[in-house]
Homo-oligomer: A and B are copies of this chain.
């Protein structure tokens, strides 16, 4: 799959990516590597002050560093204001995962009225139903299913076994990992005397440009309107987004996050792994939610939010739980003492029960 990458010289890389070169411009780079231990003929990078000690020891032939680290480092270097970004751009030259060989596999099933853009790759056992539209240069891997009326923008990659439900739209340059389901039935059920009645889910999912959707992530279609994922959103693996949600542009969500129905998340948010966000909430732009946080109310203001009690030895944890449950008793005892000492206790109203969870 794909030819071996060429071996550009350090000088060519500097010119191509607009970086300052220090050292041997003729050095051929055959690949990229981690800083520790590093590999001869490979390029690495240092973007983390904690790794500076590795910089001195690396066996990499050259490194991408910022100006400050360049002064510390005596070897071949490419100097960039953002070494992680410059390195990522160079590393993309060596990324065989993005190979695209145009062509349709003979076992792919494509409806007669589907529109397939130029130079698409459609893999074995993919199924593309009636009315689907694919932009140019799409990669549709094995076992993908694009249901009737779905559309995918140009230069998108559906790696394998991706499900795109009827009428759902993916923008340009999408990156979708195996097992992702876009447009599953929203979980809308109405209680009746005889059990649950399934409320039809008649909306779809609209996904903007430059969106990444991780492996086994699920995005439900809307009940009446569409669930919306705006441009530039990055979704890791095993995320669940319920019906009618809207995820703002350039928001990144780590793995295992669950977002309940009709919640609106702002732009440029960062949501840590396994956080859970309740339904019908609004999260402002630029909010950072730390891993495993439990969000039960709207967050109207940018900032960093978290919750949860971190792990500790189980014996201590059990005592802590018991103590937390004795807090009512603590409070009573405090009041007793205050009464005894004729100190003022806060008015009961001042710490009334918080019933708005």
Contact = CB atoms under 8 A, between A and B. Distances in A.
A192 interface: yes
Nearest to A357: B318
Assign chain A's interface to a size class. Answer: 35 or more
Given A179-B163, A254-B260, A306 B297 contact: no
A321 B310 contact: yes
Given A185-B214, A323-B328, A328-B319, A252 B196 contact: yes
B278 A258 contact: no
Contact of A129 (B1, B293, B351): B1
A77 interface: no
Interface stretch (A19-27, A65-73, A91-99, A114-122): A91-99
Contacts of A346: 329, 333
Contact of A145 (B160, B223, B338): B160
A337 interface: yes
Contact of A334 (B258, B299, B315, B330): B330
Given A34-B223, A94-B202, A288-B314, 14 more contacts: A107-B107, A124-B127, A143-B143, A159-B184, A161-B161, A178-B181, A196-B234, A255-B260, A290-B317, A294-B311, A318-B354, A318-B355, A319-B328, A323-B331
Given A109-B107, A296-B310, A97 B1 contact: no
A4 interface: no
Contact of A189 (B212, B278, B321): B212
A143 B147 CA distance: 13
Given A1-B130, A143-B145, A297 B274 contact: no
A88 B218 contact: no
Contacts of A341: 337, 340-341
A305 interface: yes
A240 B212 contact: no
Contact of A304 (B238, B313, B323): B313
B202 A95 contact: yes
Nearest to A258: B256
A291 interface: yes
Contact of A214 (B184, B305, B315): B184
Contacts of A314: 288, 290, 303-306
